[in-house]
Structures are given as C-alpha cells and as structure tokens.
Structure 1
Amino acid sequence: MNDQTIIDIPTKPSTVLDKTGATPMIEQFIEIKNANPDSLLFYRMGDFYELFFDDAEIASRALGITLTKRGKHQGEDIPMCGVPMHAADDYLQKLIALGHRVAVCEQVEDPAEAKKRGAKSVVRRDVVRLVTPGTLTEDKLLEPSQSNFLMALARLKGSSDDDLFALAWIDISTGVFRVCESNGDQLSSDIFRVDPRELIVADTVFHDPKLRGLMDMLGRVAVPQPAILFDSSAAAGRIARFYDVSTVDSFGAFSRVELAAISAAIAYVEKTQIGERPPLARPEREHIGSTMFIDPATRANLELLRTLSGKREGSLFKAIDCTVTGPGARLLAERLMAPLTKTEEITQRLDTIDFLLHEPDLCEALRALLKSAPDIARALSRLALNRGGPRDLAALREGLMVSTSVQSRLDGRNLPAELDRVRETLSRLPADFLSHLQSALDEDLPLLKRDGGFCAKGYLTELDEMRALRDESRRVIAEMERALVEETSIRALKIRHNNMLGYYIEVNATHGEALIGSPEMKARFIHRQTMVNAMRFTTPELADLESKIANAAGRALTLELEIFEKLQMEAVSHADALRSAANALAVADVSVALAHLAVSQNYCRPTVDDSMAFAIEGGRHPVVEQALQRQAETPFVANDCDLSPPAGTTNGAIWLLTGPNMGGKSTFLRQNALIAILAQMGSYVPARSAQIGIVDRLFSRVGASDDLARGRSTFMVEMVETAAILNQASERALVILDEIGRGTSTFDGLSIAWATVEFLHEQNRCRSLFATHFHEMTALSQKLARLDNVTMRVKEWNGEVIFLHEIAKGAADRSYGVQVARLAGLPDAVVERARAVLHQLEEGEDSGKADKLVDDLPLFSVAETKRQQTVPQADELRVVLSSVNPDDLSPREALDALYRLKAVADKKKN
C-alpha cells in the first residue's frame, strides 16, 4: 500500500505486565504500557525516550540500537533501550515504516510538584499521542508527494446476503475528509483506489471469514478496533460534538453506514491525538459510479502509482508527474487512481489544459510562481495540533503571497470553468491575516518556537526593549553611566558588576563622602559597600534596569510565545479559507503540469464522450516511450487500436492479438489501458488522436504471479482474476487479457481461452484486447461478428527474427519461441536441439503422427547437435530470397532487400 517495503519483524504477543514488586518508576511504566498494549511505549526520561521489557527487544532489533538492561523486576533483568529526544522523529519514521505503532509518554507534571509528595515520588507521566501510520503530521515522517490516508471501514448487515459497506478516509496532515458507500463486489477496488496507509475495521468484521482474503491483501495496513467504535446509533452525536454543531443534517444526506464510518474515523483521530483537534474539513461524499472501477489486480498490473517491485520509478505516475509542489503531486496521484466517468467533469479538465496550451506565457508564469508555494495544508494541520513552529507560520505567509500573485495573474481573463473556480477561491483569502503575518514574522526563522527570535523588529515595542536589554546591556549601561557622570560631574564614576552585588556605581572614597554628605544625592544614591579606596552605590533606576536585564531574555521569549499563540489561533480561525487556497493551488499546479507534459511529450487532446467508441491513432506507451528517450534508443513505434463497434453492431469490438514473444504484445495491451485512464482523469494522451467512449470498468490480466501464502499457484491466480473479470465486466468495460490458459496443458488452456473469448463476446459484450499464442483461436473471427484478428509484425533474416513492434490485420502462424530463446542466451546446443524437435513435431502434427514421431525422436546428444552444426547449410542467397515476400514490401523495403541480396552475392563471390 506504500512505497516502503513492510518488513514483518517477529514480535511477542502483547501480554499484561505484573507490577508486583516493581520500583515506583517501573510500576508507572507498567501501568501506562498495560493501557496501550498494542503500541511501543516511548517513555520520557530526561532527554531520552526509553523502552523496557518486550518493547525494548522489539525496538532494538527494528532500529539497530543497543539493547541493555536497567535493574531487575521479579528476579529478572529488565531489557532496556533508548533514543535521544532530539532525534526521536528519525526513529519514529523507521518504526512506522516497519508497521509499528508508538505511544509517546511525556511528563505531565512539574518535578517540583512531585517533590511535594515526597522525595521519592515519581513525576506524573501520561501518553500524549499515539503515533500510527495513518495519523502522521511531521514533515520528516511524511512524503511531500504522497497523501497519508487513514481509512475507516464500516459494515451494516443487509436484509439479504448483501452487506452494506462504507469507507471514510482522512488525511490528518491536510484535513481532507471523504466518504463513500461500497458493496462486496467493489470494496477492494475502493480501498486500493484511495491507497490508505492505515485502515481501521471493527474486530468482528476483521475476523469475518468472508473478508479474510481482503484482510490478507491489506496485511498490516488493516488494524482491528473495538466494535463500539463503529456503533451507528451513536455516530451522529459524535460527529456533531467534534464539529461543535447541534446536528449533522447540514452536512448532507449520509446513510447510516456512512455515518458509522465517519464517526469511527473521528473517534480514532480523537483516540490517537489525545486532546488535540485537527482542522478536518466536513466530510465530502463521493458517489458510487462517479469514478472508473479498477480492481486491485489491474492497478498492480498497470503499475499506476508504483511498479510491481514497489518503486515509483517506472510507474505511470512518475512518467506524467510534472508538478512542482507536494500538494499538486498528491492531487495528480488521486486523479490518476480515480479516473472520472462523467464527460462534463472530464471536459472541464481538458478545457483547462487546452486554455493553458494557448497561453504559454501565462502557463510558464504560473509554473514559476507555484515552485515557491509551500504546503499550506500540512503547515496548518501542525499548527492546529500544537506541533507547529515559526516556519509553519511562514509557510502560511508565503502560501498566501503566492496565492495573491496567482490570482492577479488570472484576473481579467476569460478563464475555463476550472481555472475560474481557482481564481474565485483565491480572491476570498483573508488579506488582514496575511498583513499580520508579514508584519509579525522575521525573515530568518528558527525551527522551534521555544528558541525565540522569530518575531520581526518593530512589531512590539516592549519586545524590542527586552531584546535590547538582553542583547545590548553593555550599551544601555554605558549610556546610564554617561548620564550619571554628567549629573554628578564625577568623571571617575563607573558602573560595574559582580556576582555578589550585581550592578553597582563605584566612585573613589572622596567623591563617595561628597555623595553621602549631600542631602539631595543621599536620597538618590543608596550606599551599598565601602572599600579601602572606593565606595559603591546603587540607584532606583539602576536597580530597576538590573532587574529588567536579568529578566529580559525570559520576558522576550514569553512575549514571542504569546505572539505565536495569537497567530496560531488566528490561523486556525481561517482554516477553511486556507485549506481552500491550498486545494486551489494544487489544482492550478496539476493543470499547468499536464499542459507542460502535453507539450514536452507531444500528447493530444482526447475526445471523451458517451459513445461506445475506442479509436486510438498512433498510440504510445507513456512509460516505455520515456525510457527509450532516456536511453537514446530507437524511437517508440506507435500503433493504432480501434475497438469501436463494427458496422451494424452496437457493442465494442474484440481484437485477438497473436505474434511472437518480445514482439510488443504486452506493451500494446497496457498502453491502451493507460491511454483510457489518462483520458478519463482529464489529461492529454500519448497518441496522434483518440476518441474514447466512457469506460466505466477497467480490467487487466497481464503477467504471471503466484500466491503461495494462500495456497494458489500461478494458474490458480490467473483463473481467479479471470473469473472476477468475466463476472463483473459491463458493456462499457475495457478488458485487457494476456495469455489466458498458458499455465496448464495445451488443450486445457486452449479450451479455457476459447470459452473466455466467446463469453466476452456474447455475455459481457465489452471492448477487449485478447493476446494469445493459441493460433487455433484465430478461427473464431469467422463465427464472432465483433472479433478481429491482429498480429505483431516480424521479419526473418538469415534465420533470425526481427521484431517490428507494429500491429497489422491478420494472424500469426508462428510464435518464434526458439528464436527468442536464442536471443535470451540459451546454449547453442539447446537451441539447435529445440529446432530439430520443433521441426519433427510440426511434421508429425501435419501428418497426424505427432505421438509416434515423439516416440521416435532420439535422445538429446550434444555431440550429435554439434555434428549437425558442421553440416553445410543451405545456399545463403536462397535463404534470403525465401524470406522476402514481394507483396508485403514497400518501395523502401524492396530497395533494402535488394541491397541485402547484393551483399550476400558479393560475399559469395569473395
């Protein structure tokens, strides 16, 4: 479910620790640990977070840190390890990536208060936060380009066997909150579309045998929770309390199961954040059928967000991502995973790209502005959760400034609907808040608010005075000294400092006696100390200045923290406007990025309508094409694909694709599925032209894999996925199937593939690409009206096969498997033996005596094969001539063939 590989670290089952005989500190640890049995407990001890017992053993293995011990408990050593507080985020990141959950335990009492209860009293501690994969907010723990969704799965028992499901998902780092209903058939598709980092589910549902397969697929992402969390009867009340409203009726007409999912998500957030309230948007409902149905196997096969090995490099997302901001990249990924099925919405997105392509100066100006846009939503979330710092306030300042600049660029233009909404949203930003941030914040900011120094000079007079006293005390004292010299006319008067008296005025004994002797001076100068040759005094002004200097640093920090708190509260009060601005900038970033992609990669605008058409001219695979560009190899060979209804029919066509391995069949299959996804997400596509009637469901069965953990062979997995396709594909579906039936015997496989094509044609009646090596199936074109035979073109030259990667009408009569085996590097003896066996098998099949010929084949002999290799080969000129079919040659190809013949003739002459 994410880019990091989940490593399953063996852990001991959570057990209740017995605190009998424990020291006060260990007793406190045990009490808190028993209250959080499913989390590793980070127990604050001074400048370290320490872990004990099983937690220490697990963490030491996971983090690669030293396992030590601290005292004994019930006669046994207590395992212990620790991490420094200042580096805790780095360790948390590693633990979360490995699937662990962490309870952070802090001191919640002043040590001085604890001492009042007795010298050996332990400072009170408690868990202040539960850190889980789905509830992260820190920059170090989050990927800027990836959303971090927490999802809740709720279920209500239906009147029949069909249960009602709902999914609610939250990105606590940005405030996004969405919900949708689902059903048993598309539940897994809806979950994997969102790609959550953590999914909570009632323990009764988690252990339901009917959902066992889904829970196994989710692995450690799925976390069982008490069923009471999903209580639908209390859901509306919990939601209303969280949003501080009297009723949830104004939120929209949510079903009972949707309310249960929303409530569970909120309850889990409250449970993990412990007293802090993130600025979540009100739940936004998504309707079933508003996005293309893509099942998990298809998402994996097409490598939309990441490759089968779990990497972003090589995925479709990586190939099309030209965004310049984290929020833009996250929105692009969301659109890619949820292509639309409403032509009006798709057209609006395409209109935006079209507009920007006709306004290149505006497009580049917006791109340049957006590069400096910070992540407003995540900064706001940290501030609302009291985890933010001065740089988060600065992120809001910079984000508002970029927003204002973007708005000014869009003002006064006749914009398409999507960009006009962006401009309108940005026009409603709180200008007074921006002014406040600009005047209050300095340019050079510390990471932590406790370090101070983030407030701009001139913002608060008292703060400036405190800073002056703190930073310029020598200058201030010198000025007072000059003033006193002028007042007393004692040029030798000095203001000095020591640790016993603090600041004092020192004069020689003679001048000191004069000061004491004058009634006016005696009232002003207070005698402090008499030395042999000098006398020391103070004044009320000096005493007051000394107090201010002593407290200046603390007072300055107190004033800055008060300013920070006011700005923080002001930011939270503008949460809705700030979140809307963040979304608007993300939309602008995605639009500009897709326009940039269209120009740089020569993509075209697709026509997306409600017809059953699927006509691609010059289609290209976006990932493979870019890989060839980077390697400076042969340009990608574009191909057409037309699955539109044939004349006299209303349903889409089926193309039966034959041809050799390595000929490009799988690439061709995938590229057409990817073009459909790109078109319906609202992007231009890699083709000369494209017309796509809405695809409501996309299925792809490409590649081979097994599922040994569930006892499934490669063939079994293939059959399960094929069954899912045949049971769910609609007339508007696009089905991509590759080599169905290859995992079993020839006749079994052929019969399954044959029946599958007939079912797709007669029952599903959908648009489909079906690749196969069963050449016998090409006969189906004579009985199925909407089925066409197409093949990957190849050329043979001197016994070698040349892959042209071109699609042509017709059927292949060979698979060229032996030639591909030679290209793969099989030993020559094996290749030659394979040629001989293939030749005799083909002869036997033609004569009806294949079985007898197989029995008559001599055993494999390297010596015999080598002898055969020394036998003079057929005349090379005849071989070349036999490979040339004049009817298939273009003028250029004919000329090339002539040159090849001449080269062979010249070689023989020499």
Structure 2
Amino acid sequence: MANVQPKEQLVLDGAHEQGFLAFYKGLPEKPNTTVRLFDRGEYYTVHGQDAVLAARELFRTNSVIKHLGGGSNKLESVVLSRLNFESFVRDLLLLKHYRVELYKQKSSSKNDWEAEYKASPGNLSQFEEILFGANNELTVTTGVIGVKLASEGGHRVVGIGYIDANGRQMSVAEFNDSDTFSNLEALVVQLSPRECLIPSGDLGPDGAKLKQVLSRSQLLVSERKRTEFTNKDASQDLSRLLRTKGDASAVAARPEMDRTNAICALAAVIKYLELLGDDSNFAQYTLSMYDLSQYMRLDSAAVRALHVEPISGSVESSGGVSKTHTLLGLLDKCRTPLGHRLLAQWLRQPLVDINKIEERLDLVEAMICTVEMRHSLGEEHLRRVPDLNRMARKLSRKAATLQDCYRLYQCVERLPYLCEAIAKYDGPHTASLAAVFTTPLQELISDLAKYQEMIETTVDMEQANQGEYVIKPDFDETLAELRETMNGLEKDIQNQLRKAANDLCLEAGKSIKLESNAQLGFYFRVTLKEEKVLRNNRSYHMIDTNKAGVRFRNNALQDLNEQHMASKEEYVQQQKTVVEEIMNIAVGYVEVLQNLGQVLATLDCIFALATAAVSAPIPYVRPKLLEQGSGVIKFQEIRHPCLELQDDVSFIPNDCTFDKGNGLFHIITGPNMGGKSTYLRSVGAAVLMAQIGSFVACQEAEISIVDSILARVGAGDCQLKGVSTFMAEMLETATILRSASNKSLIIIDELGRGTSTYDGFGLAWAISEYIAKEISAFCLFATHFHELTALADEVDSVQNYHVTATTAHGALTLLYQVRPGPCDRSFGIHVAELANFPSSVIEYAKRKAGELEDDFGNDDDDSDEAVKKRKLEKQEGEKLIEEFLTKAASLDVDNMSEQDLEIEINKLRDEVKGKNNPYVSRLLSRET
C-alpha cells in the first residue's frame, strides 16, 4: 500500500536554492546503492535519482516529484515526513541492502551541509533508534566480511575477516579453495553477513568467479582501496579494540595474527566500520578463529531449495506472506530479539558434532516433557527479556538512560524465578539443563547482585512503576525538597479535578479524567460525547481533540501544571550527577550482560524448537543420530513441515530409506505436480532440522550426520546476472561435484532441462553415474528422463522410485505416494488437461505423441532378421552414445564460456549424427 504523501513542502528562496544546487552538484559521485537524505528540521528531502527511487518505492507515484532550479540545472526533489523518512530508511537498509547517508546543515544562513550519520546493512549502529525503537527490536543479523585472495604454493588461498558490530565479535579464517569458491560460499552462508568488502581493481582470473559467488549470496559488495587491505597497524588497532588486556606486542603473538591474508581483510573491515573513531568500541570486541568444519556446509542453492529463510527483499521477508513458508518462520517461536537472531544463526550453522546435537535434543526433549516449564518460560519470563546486546552497546557508548538501567534491573530480578521454572523438570536430562542454563544463570545472578542493590538504593521504584524514572528523593536534600514540592502540587491538581467535575456536573475519574504525559504534563479529558459541556464555557480552554476525546485545562490547572513541570525539570537537572555515576558503574557490567544474553538466547531457541515440535499438526519426533559415515538415513512417514501447515492441505507422508546395502542413489520419476520436489525437500529439511537439534516431522527417523547438503533445484533463469538456465544448472552442479563427499546429502531436481533432450539426458546420466560411483553420497535425483532409470541396471547403489498416479476413465489422479520402481509412462498431456489447456491443443498433442511413439517403438516388420538388425543398431547406437558422453566429460568446462561449450557439444553431436545410426536417429527425432 502506498504511503501517505507528506504535507510539507520544500520552500527555498532563490539564494538558498542556488546555493543548495551548487552544493549538491559538487558532491562526489556515489553508487546507485547509496542514498543521500537531507534533514530540513521538520521534514527530510531526497534529490536526483534518490528522489525517483523514493517516489517509486515509497509513494508508488511520480506525482510527488518536484523540481529545484530550471533548465539544464533542474534537480528532482521529494519531500519526506518523519514517518516517511523512517519507513524509507528501514526498507533501504533491511530489505534492499542499500547504504544511507544523512546530511545536516551546520548553519541556517549557509549551504554548509555535512554527512552527520552513515549506515549500511552491516553497520546499523547510527540508525538503531530509527530502525529498532521500542516497537521494532533488532531481529536481523548484521555483519561485514572482508575477502582477500592470494596464491601460495600454487594453491588459491582465501583470507576472511568478519566483524559483527551488534555482538561485538571479530573472526578470521584462512583456507585453500577450489576454482568455484565452494568453501567461501559455505562460509558466507554460515556467517550470513550483510556486506562484503573486496579490493578494487583487477582481481585476476578469479575475480569474475568470486563476484559471481558473492552475487548468489545476496550481499552488498563494495570495492575498497587495496591499501586498506594491509596488516601494517593491525596489532596496534586490535590492542585497542579487544577486551583482552595486552599491548600491541601481546596481540601480535596471538595465533590469529599468523593468518596474514585474513588479518589484512579484517583491517579493511575495521577501517570501513570506523571502529577506531568511536571510543566506546575500545576493549569491547572478542577475536577468534573461525573453523568451517565445525558446521554442516550449505551452499546458497541449498538454502533456497530448502526454503531455510525468506529471500531478502521478497514479499515474504517484508511480511506479506505467511512466515511458515520457510523453516525459520516455522521454527521461530522465540520470545526475545536475542532468540530470533540466534535461531536464524543455528539454521545456517547446523552442527556436525554428534555430542553437541544430542545435548540440544536432550534440552528440547526436557522442554517438551514439562508443559508447566514451557508455559511459564514463554508467557511469564522470556517475553520480558530486553535486547541485552543492544543495551550493552548503549551502556558502553554512555547512551543508556535511567529507564534502560531499570529495564535491566527488572530482567535480573526475574532470573531466580526463571531458574525455578527450569527446576520443575526432574527427568533424565536434569544435568544438561543445569550445565547449559541453571548453573550459568546462578553465577550471573551472583555477578549482578551489586547492580541490583545499586538500582534499589538509588532509583525511585514507586515512580518507576508509574513510568517516571528518577532518583529517590531521600538520596539528596535538594531532591527531597523538590519531591515534597511536587507532591504538594499533585494534591492541588487532584483537587482541581474534583472542582472541575462539580463545575461541569461530571463524575471525577469516570466521565472526566485527570491524565498526564511527558509533553503536556497534567490535563483533563472527557469523551467526545461529553464535549458539549465545554462549549461556550470560558473557564476552560481546549488543548486538542482526537478520537480518544477532548483534552483541556482551566487556568488553575494551567498554573499548577507549569509549576509542576518546572519542579520536575529541576529535579531531573539536580539528579544528573547521580545518574551519571550510575551509568559509569553500569558500564562495568557490559561483559556480564553479553554473557547473560548468550544464555537467555540459547534458552529461547530451545523453547522455540520445543514449541514448534508440540504445536505441529502431528507432533515431531526425536531423531536417532548416527556418526558420520554410518551410511544410513531412514524416515518413516516423513512430511514437509511447512507444507503440512498450509490451509486445505491433507499431507500424504512417505518413507525414505538410504543404506549402504540398499542403495544410496535414488532416482525419482513421475508426473509433474506429483510430489517429487516436495519429497526431496522434505528429506533435506528433516536432515537440516535434526542437525540444529530440532525434532523432525515424521513417525520415526534414523540419520547419519552429513557434512553438507548440496542442491540443484529449479530451473529459473538469471538473465539479470547474465546467466542462462543451462549455465546456472552447470555452475551449481559443478559446485556439487567438487564439494560433495561420501558423507554428503545431494538433492537434484530436474537436471538437464535447460538444453536439448539429447544433451540433457547425456549430462544427467554422466552426472548421476559419477555421483553414484565416484562420490557415493546420499543422493535424491528427480528427473523426467525415464531412460535414466536404466542406470539402476548398471550401478548397484542406484535405486528407482516413482510418485504414483492413475488415469482411470481418462482422468489423471495424483496419489502423492513414493513407491519402489521406475515410472512406466509420461503423464505430461494429462497434467496439461489439469491445467485446462484448450481441448483442441490436447487432442493434437495426443495425436502427435502417438505418431512419435509409432516412429520410435513400432515396426511392422517383425521377422527374425529385422529384429536382429534393430538389436545390432541399438548396440551400435549405445556405443556411440557412450563415446559421446566420454568426450563430453573430458571437456575443460571450468575454463570455457557457455558459448564455447555449446559449440563443442554441437561438434560432438554432429559427429554422432554423421554415423547415421537408426537407433540414434530415432532418439534425436524426439527433439523435433
């Protein structure tokens, strides 16, 4: 829905207009992904292409665009109200992943504007109050990575520096990578940064591939000067930013500093985020090595295929579609911003350590078994936990208020009750609950005891409970006098309520009320129905009228209110010294707060997983986990957890069995819309959920831990990135073939549809055979090439399955059941009938299909000689096909463009055609 257009108008006199135009034209050039806004006091403006963007995205009309200047000097301008401004900035940073610069004027008499605030998707700190006020908590992850490529000993080395300004964490990683940058892609999925910095200029032959990988990951990529990627002053800079005590020499001795390329990348991120320019960042960060192998590897294609989280910028991510369409939306029953962020991280970082997974499963099971604990945590305790990470940052920046300190006090006050709620469980997992939650919480309660005592001693609890955050009056003589004065004024104000009620013949506290707020102070209010009593009554003057009623005062209340507000302001000024001292002491609790946040976030995530498991239409079950390499994945009556929640869906579950003796490569055939893709995604989602510690949607599950889930699902073109369907398939499949191990789960859906039938089938066969024979990974391969089912006759590990359908009385009925064996026919025309194709098209399709079947499979000559001849033709043809596939597989596809690859494939095909084999000719005739 379009936003309401602002009433403000940009009005400038001629001199100011010309001066602003000159200033704007003189600004340095910026990328289209940066938007400049100008603070005009009561409203904001955007200009040039930014104005066009605001008109299109915010107002959905160009009629809001006005112009400054004239002729060739004309500049597009759009005015934004404060609400428009906040909405626009939120969309730019959180959905579109743009950068934002806010300019303010230093002097009203001059056009001396300067960029006062800057923000980017990975650094939102300066816009936090706009983006995440009281009603908009920070539930998104933020982070920036720097990438530096190098070559050492003939190997491609990638150095990574990562900073999460929200969590005050730094990580470095350095690893060898393939030419498809599969390790880098897995790391980007796991960390989910919002921005990536790379050195500007030519990055050599790997540069284009690097940018291609990053573009698949929906990152805002920025090129920075190469001179910023240096470790020259890294030790000194880190000694100021890290919590650990020690000078530059002590930092230089840390093992992380040996990762030279990673430290160079980290230095670029530190400079980009301007961390050294803000004293509140000093001694606040941690630095660690990031180990890729501690988590399951997911490529970006698998994240999309399994619908792990909403696609950034999509309708769903902006709240337009049911959140349960993704695994994150389905499982995110968290009550805190801390939990929301951590659960999203868990989904991108599934565990591979069986002991850690079992511990999470124990905690979830304990939560499921104790309804009382789950209810009290969700309804009484967790929902009242503030964003402790954000609060810690405000304290360290000296930007916290007395209200923030009181909210933290309320949180700490609830911790003993939270521990009591956890203690209600007395089952077999008591030790795990104590180790992960109860013991750390009790230690933190002890650490925060002095903080509680300070707040109780200094803050006026009675006033705080009424929304007024002030120091106790008995803390200072002057404060006590002011409090006494204010109490006397409040008694007089209450007397005025009774007098006004008598005067207006209303009932005090009911039909006439005394109210107050921070802006107006005290005032009377009556409903709109009672408004007539004020008409022509000169003793009362109205403040304003809204749907809640009429606000008004008499002269006596006006005088008393002014005295009360003056005393209140004096009270605030008098208590400033005490408040400042409280803040200085509270800063010392920043690290404790961050530790408390980690414990409560984990508790919230366990609560969410347990709630999701018990609230499903059919409760989820605990999976039985096996060590990596066990070679078994078994699901009984598996369901897709998102699909079963959709309205009017009666989900039909299926079984899935992988084991070394029964085949690890499953080919699934059957009609479109028959459930093949859903079946594949169900298995992938269940394995992913199990390895984050969640129960799964089936009757029984036995899962060998996998080291990665790799996917090739869907056939959407990427024309905006210059990548065709076929090339997208080949790039994703190449990543799978290079990254997969015998402990991986591979999901492939409809490979080979982006090219001709002959080429597509050949590639599908070659890829399937390679995965089944060479990699020996768990693999689900859905295909329309029924001929591919013959692979099961040649490779023992290949098993055929099909989704069932019937065509009784000429009508197609999809049964959505997966059964052993290949599908014996195609149902394409029946599916077209379901889609209401015109009857004339359907009839023609049936006639043409019959002709092709006759051409291919029927021959009037059934003599022994003719049968023998056809058999020889088939043997010769199969040999030609095998030769074609061998030559195709030997092509250097990594170093060939799509056009060159197509030329070489066509040459090989023409070579086969030249043999004039009837069997091959009949196969090729299918293409026409």
TM-score, normalising length from structure 1?
A: 0.73
Where 2:659 maps in the other structure, the secondary structure is: coil
Q: CA deviation at 1:610?
A: 2.6
Q: 2:352 aligned to 341, 348, 363, which one?
A: 341
Could you report, residue by residue, the CA deviation over 1:806-848 in whole angstroms, capped at 9, with x for unpaired residues?
2221111112111111111112222233223323332332214
Q: CA deviation at 1:578?
A: 0.4
- Residues in 2 aligned to 1:847 and 1:209: alpha-carbon distance in whole angstroms: 51
Bigger Cα displacement from structure 2, 460-469 vs 224-233 = 460-469
Alignment of 1:505-524 (within 5 A): none
Confirm or deny that 1:796 pairs with 2:807. yes
Task: Give the equivalent residue in structure 2 for 1:295.
Answer: 299
Task: Give the equivalent residue in structure 1 for 2:271.
Answer: 267
Asked if 2 retains the 8 angstrom alpha-carbon contact of 1:355 and 1:416, the reply is no
* Structure-2 change in CA distance of 1:377 and 1:206 (3 Å): farther
Task: Give the equivalent residue in structure 1 for 2:162.
Answer: 169
- Residues in 2 aligned to 1:201 and 1:304: alpha-carbon distance in whole angstroms: 27
- Letter of the aligned partner of 2:316 in structure 1? K
- Residues in 2 aligned to 1:841 and 1:458: alpha-carbon distance in whole angstroms: 95
* Structure-2 change in CA distance of 1:252 and 1:685 (3 Å): farther
- Residues in 2 aligned to 1:293 and 1:81: alpha-carbon distance in whole angstroms: 46
* Structure-2 change in CA distance of 1:397 and 1:171 (3 Å): farther
Confirm or deny that 1:454 pairs with 2:442. no
Asked if 1 retains the 8 angstrom alpha-carbon contact of 2:666 and 2:800, the reply is yes
- Residues in 1 aligned to 2:572 and 2:18: alpha-carbon distance in whole angstroms: 36
Q: CA deviation at 1:675?
A: 1.0
- Letter of the aligned partner of 1:230 in structure 2? F
- Residues in 1 aligned to 2:675 and 2:841: alpha-carbon distance in whole angstroms: 25
Bigger Cα displacement from structure 2, 219-228 vs 745-754 = 219-228
- Residues in 1 aligned to 2:26 and 2:571: alpha-carbon distance in whole angstroms: 37
- Letter of the aligned partner of 1:261 in structure 2? A
Confirm or deny that 1:603 pairs with 2:620. yes
- Residues in 1 aligned to 2:316 and 2:261: alpha-carbon distance in whole angstroms: 35
Where 2:293 maps in the other structure, the secondary structure is: coil
Confirm or deny that 1:155 pairs with 2:148. yes
* Structure-2 change in CA distance of 1:371 and 1:622 (3 Å): farther
Asked if 1 retains the 8 angstrom alpha-carbon contact of 2:121 and 2:194, the reply is yes
Alignment of 1:298-309 (within 5 A): 298-306=302-310, 309=314
Paired positions, count: 741
Task: Give the equivalent residue in structure 2 for 1:234.
Answer: 233
Q: CA deviation at 1:730?
A: 0.9
Q: CA deviation at 1:395?
A: 3.4
Where 1:610 maps in the other structure, the secondary structure is: coil
Task: Give the equivalent residue in structure 1 for 2:858.
Answer: 847
Task: Give the equivalent residue in structure 2 for 1:409.
Answer: 421
Task: Give the equivalent residue in structure 2 for 1:282.
Answer: 286
Asked if 2 retains the 8 angstrom alpha-carbon contact of 1:367 and 1:592, the reply is yes
* Structure-2 change in CA distance of 1:150 and 1:212 (3 Å): same
Could you report, residue by residue, the CA deviation over 1:611-666 in whole angstroms, capped at 9, with x for unpaired residues?
433332324333444334x33x43x222111121117xxxx611111222222111
Task: Give the equivalent residue in structure 1 for 2:664.
Answer: 653
* Structure-2 change in CA distance of 1:697 and 1:99 (3 Å): closer
Could you report, residue by residue, the CA deviation over 1:265-309 in whole angstroms, capped at 9, with x for unpaired residues?
333332697555388441233312111111111211221102695
* Structure-2 change in CA distance of 1:295 and 1:428 (3 Å): same
Asked if 2 retains the 8 angstrom alpha-carbon contact of 1:106 and 1:127, the reply is yes
Asked if 1 retains the 8 angstrom alpha-carbon contact of 2:234 and 2:263, the reply is yes
Asked if 1 retains the 8 angstrom alpha-carbon contact of 2:235 and 2:252, the reply is no
Where 1:428 maps in the other structure, the secondary structure is: helix
Q: 1:620 aligned to 638, 641, 651, which one?
A: 638
Alignment of 1:391-790 (within 5 A): 391-410=403-422, 415-417=430-432, 420-429=435-444, 430-438=448-456, 440-441=458-459, 453-455=468-470, 457-458=472-473, 460-461=475-476, 462-469=478-485, 472=488, 552-601=567-616, 602-608=619-625, 609-628=627-646, 630-631=647-648, 633-634=649-650, 636-646=651-661, 653-790=664-801
- Residues in 2 aligned to 1:279 and 1:378: alpha-carbon distance in whole angstroms: 17
Q: CA deviation at 1:79?
A: 6.6
- Letter of the aligned partner of 2:330 in structure 1? A
Task: Give the equivalent residue in structure 1 for 2:251.
Answer: 248
Task: Give the equivalent residue in structure 1 for 2:100.
Answer: 102
- Letter of the aligned partner of 1:576 in structure 2? E
Asked if 2 retains the 8 angstrom alpha-carbon contact of 1:270 and 1:276, the reply is no
Could you report, residue by residue, the CA deviation over 1:732-788 in whole angstroms, capped at 9, with x for unpaired residues?
111111222223332222222111111111111211111222222222222211111
TM-score, normalising length from structure 2?
A: 0.71
Where 1:731 maps in the other structure, the secondary structure is: coil
Asked if 2 retains the 8 angstrom alpha-carbon contact of 1:663 and 1:794, the reply is yes
Alignment of 1:828-847 (within 5 A): 828-847=839-858
Bigger Cα displacement from structure 2, 152-161 vs 274-283 = 274-283
Could you report, residue by residue, the CA deviation over 1:492-528 in whole angstroms, capped at 9, with x for unpaired residues?
xxxxxxxxxxxxxxxxxxxxxxxxxxxxxxxxxxxxx
Task: Give the equivalent residue in structure 2 for 1:141.
Answer: 131
- Letter of the aligned partner of 2:755 in structure 1? T
Asked if 1 retains the 8 angstrom alpha-carbon contact of 2:747 and 2:780, the reply is yes
Could you report, residue by residue, the CA deviation over 1:444-471 in whole angstroms, capped at 9, with x for unpaired residues?
9999xxx994215546333343354467
Task: Give the equivalent residue in structure 2 for 1:869.
Answer: none
* Structure-2 change in CA distance of 1:724 and 1:99 (3 Å): closer
Bigger Cα displacement from structure 2, 334-343 vs 218-227 = 218-227
Q: CA deviation at 1:394?
A: 3.8
Confirm or deny that 1:191 pairs with 2:176. no
- Residues in 2 aligned to 1:357 and 1:474: alpha-carbon distance in whole angstroms: 51
The RMSD of aligned alpha carbons is: 4.0
- Letter of the aligned partner of 1:170 in structure 2? I
Where 1:820 maps in the other structure, the secondary structure is: helix
Asked if 2 retains the 8 angstrom alpha-carbon contact of 1:206 and 1:224, the reply is no
Where 1:790 maps in the other structure, the secondary structure is: strand
